[in-house]
A = this chain, B = another copy of it.
Amino acid sequence: MSEKNCFGIGIIGLGGRGSGLLDMLLNMDDIAVPAVCDLYEDRARQAADRVEASGRPRPLQTLDYRDVLACPDVDGVITPSSWTSHLEIMLAAMQAGKPVATEVGGATSVQECWDLVHAAKATDVPCMMLENCCYGREEMALLNMVRQGVFGELIHCQGGYEHDLRAEVARGLENRHYRFLNYQHRNGDIYPTHALGPIAKMLDINRGNRFVSLASFPTKKRGLKEWASANLDADHAANQTWFNQADVVTTVLTCARGETVVLTHDTTLPRPYSRGGRVQGTRGIWMEDNRSIYLEGSSPNDSWEPFAPYLETYDHPLWQKSDVANYQAGHGGMDYLVLRAFIEPLMQGFKQMPIDVWDVATWMAVTPLSEESVALGGQPVAFPDFTNGSWICRQIAPDHRYSLD
């Protein structure tokens, strides 16, 4: 494909995540990268160097994301920028007529989620979230199973972001990572979407169901301070401040159809990584932490079965494509799939994103709602209906192979 026929991606934010996404994009023959942006000049320059080294023209290199949005060769934008900038950039992109996909993270206020929904209506420009876990092999197989009724009627789901990030957070300032300041100032489920995204799809959120309330409960804060004290100099920034973010935040969401969802944000204690998944219905239950499933009538009485054979049986067609295997570097392939899920529908002229503006607004709103509930001592807060009632009868006909509907 000639450069001219390629889909032009502008990248705003070139830290660790943006850099990884750039590598992946540069491995795609049908992708051009006409513009790169970061607040740090060295990052933008290194990205431009890599684009050039890939045999593509040297891109526009800028510190101001508005330059990316103004670039005529940019057909779509991705924002692996800091959490607190995602929605500002998305809004600006949509107003500039550029389809935009945000990296994961929560919002800073419920209002900016509304602003996103209003911008989508006003501009008719697609937006999406690059929630890679929605395209995880296990998550997609489970979605398949849920849609086929294997679990019966869903009753309860759990998930989490359970990831020991003490070193990354405490060393955030020298590594120019926004986590330090977020953990210093905020308290709530500040990173909900890896678990929530796949669960929201399984529960038909905004498509016949919606979240109606949320309550969050933080623990005390010990992990970061203990780690910094044991591993960093006394005058290190992490030893010269307090962190407001709780070690564990438990969040309970209730749904209009009567399901509950329990989310766990657990990132400053020593532990193996887990997304803590649990999907439970009237016919059975799956759990991530024991890699097991129990289905009434087929599993041995009162005994877990290994999930692996079910993953084979219910593997999603997208995962059986040969091209996924070529990109398994990106969290085992799901990073590739979620990027293609944004790009390919646009290349084919579709405006309906597999993770759409209502998904993005809903998933990102969990963070400020969680902060509100924490501030109110665990009081449940009402979950906004960003669809203004259309969730009741909204049914989406999948128009491309990346659809999660």
Contacts and interface: CB of A to CB of B under 8 A. Distances in A.
A68 to B, nearest CB: 37
A260 B156 CA distance: 20
Contacts of A272: 294, 302-304
A284 B260 contact: no
Nearest to A289: B290
Interface stretch (A1-9, A101-109, A275-283): A275-283
Contacts of A95: none
Interface stretch (A132-140, A190-198, A246-254): A246-254
A280 B285 contact: no
Interface stretch (A122-130, A262-270, A326-334, A342-350): A262-270
Contacts of A290: 289-291
Contacts of A215: 215, 217, 252, 378, 380
Contact of A217 (B222, B254, B257, B291): B254
Interface in A213-229: 213, 215, 217-220, 222-223, 226
Nearest to A162: B285
A250 to B, nearest CB: 6
B260 A217 contact: yes
Nearest to A301: B272
Q: Copies per complex?
A: 2
A398 interface: no
A25 B339 CA distance: 66
Contacts of A220: 155, 257-259
A242 interface: no
A392 to B, nearest CB: 17
A213 B378 contact: yes
Contact of A269 (B222, B248, B282, B303): B282
A30 to B, nearest CB: 36
A185 interface: no
Contacts of A377: 213, 380
Nearest to A270: B296
Contacts of A294: 270-272
Contacts of A285: 269-271
A164 B302 contact: yes
A247 B259 CA distance: 10
A40 interface: no
A273 B260 CA distance: 20
A310 to B, nearest CB: 16
A73 to B, nearest CB: 42
Contacts of A266: 156, 280
A153 interface: yes
A259 B250 CA distance: 11
A280 B179 CA distance: 23
Contacts of A295: 270
Contacts of A213: 377-378
Nearest to A300: B272
A257 B259 CA distance: 31
A26 interface: no
Contacts of A252: 215, 217, 250, 252, 378
Contacts of A324: none
Contacts of A271: 280, 284-285, 294
12 contacts: A152-B226, A155-B219, A156-B248, A217-B254, A222-B282, A248-B260, A250-B260, A269-B282, A271-B284, A271-B285, A272-B304, A289-B290
- Closest 9 pairs between A and B when the two form their complex, measured CB to CB: A220-B258, A270-B296, A156-B248, A378-B380, A290-B290, A217-B252, A271-B285, A289-B290, A155-B247
